[in-house]
Structure 1
């Protein structure tokens, strides 16, 4: 798995300004994929970041790169916990919730709508997406916004700028370890 793929899709998480990112990659064998994930985790876990596969299907992997501390705080909010409880999540703790999310992803070709909570999206936007069946958003960027449009636009711009800077720094030879902000 090329580190450039991680930089391109996960820069805001590496920078510490986002809870998590998802990206898809191809793989030849599960052994090779898991070896690549272990190698990345050896570099990033000391900085407070973990990478795990959420779904494997026909030579493609859906990879989740996240900050466990941020995720625990996000899911502990009353609004996020209420959404997860309504959807049948039994234990509102990051590890248990990730396992349940992975099972839900494996059981469906699509994405469970609560996945936004695992990416750091505002609970009001995740709830709005679910209640409105993805329609009637105030605006769309990294996610569909149903709440604070102004704040969301600022966040979208911050993520975009971060990704541009990280891609540029990567192209200039900075390593993924140097680009990753420690918790």
Structure 2
């Protein structure tokens, strides 16, 4: 897994303006993926970032890049807590929540759409997506919006700007450590 993938898919998380990002990458060798993620974690955990493979199958890996402290804050939201409790999570323990998410991703046939709560999606939008089966949304960007459309559009623009700036900084030679805000 390359640092370029982190810059391309996870800039808002690296910048500290988003709790987590999720992306899929080619994984021809699980051992190499594990080695790569371990190396990146050694460099980025001190800066507040953790990288986990949520699922590896059929030559692809689903990678979660997140800020554990930000996730802990996100999971204190009442609506987020209620939704997570409904799916068997223990919201007072963010690490246990991530492990439960991994189990759900690996064992259920239906995709666990509550994953949006791990990615800074507003709880109202995550619940709206689940209840409406991805239909009847007001707009969409990084996620489908069922709540505050203007606020969400503003966030989408902020994430897009961050990604463009990080891409330029990366091309100009900044390291992944330099582009990761400590937090």
TM-score of the superposition, structure 2-length normalised? 0.97
Cα drift, residue 111 of structure 1: 2.7
The reply to whether residue 107 of structure 1 matches residue 107 of structure 2 is yes
Question: Relative to structure 2, which stretch is displaced further, 85-94 or 60-69?
Answer: 85-94
Cα drift, residue 91 of structure 1: 5.3
Q: Which residue of 2 aligns with 1:14?
A: 14
Q: Which residue of 1 aligns with 2:40?
A: 40
Cα drift, residue 43 of structure 1: 1.1
The reply to whether residue 160 of structure 1 matches residue 160 of structure 2 is yes
User: SS state of the match for residue 179, structure 1?
Assistant: coil
Unpaired runs of 5+ residues, structure 2, are none
Within a 5 Å distance, the mapping from 1:1-183 to structure 2 comes to 1-90=1-90, 92-108=92-108, 111-183=111-183
User: SS state of the match for residue 56, structure 2?
Assistant: strand
Q: Deviations over 1:35-72 (max 9, x none)?
A: 00011101110100100000010111100000000001
Residues of 2 paired with 1:168 and 1:109: CA distance?
A: 39
Residues of 2 paired with 1:145 and 1:181: CA distance?
A: 28
Unpaired runs of 5+ residues, structure 1, are none
Contact preservation (8 Å) 2:54, 2:102:
yes
Cα drift, residue 99 of structure 1: 0.6
User: SS state of the match for residue 76, structure 1?
Assistant: coil
CA RMSD of aligned residues (A): 1.1
Q: Which consecutive aligned stretches of 4+ in structure 1 deviate over 4 angstroms post-superposition?
A: none
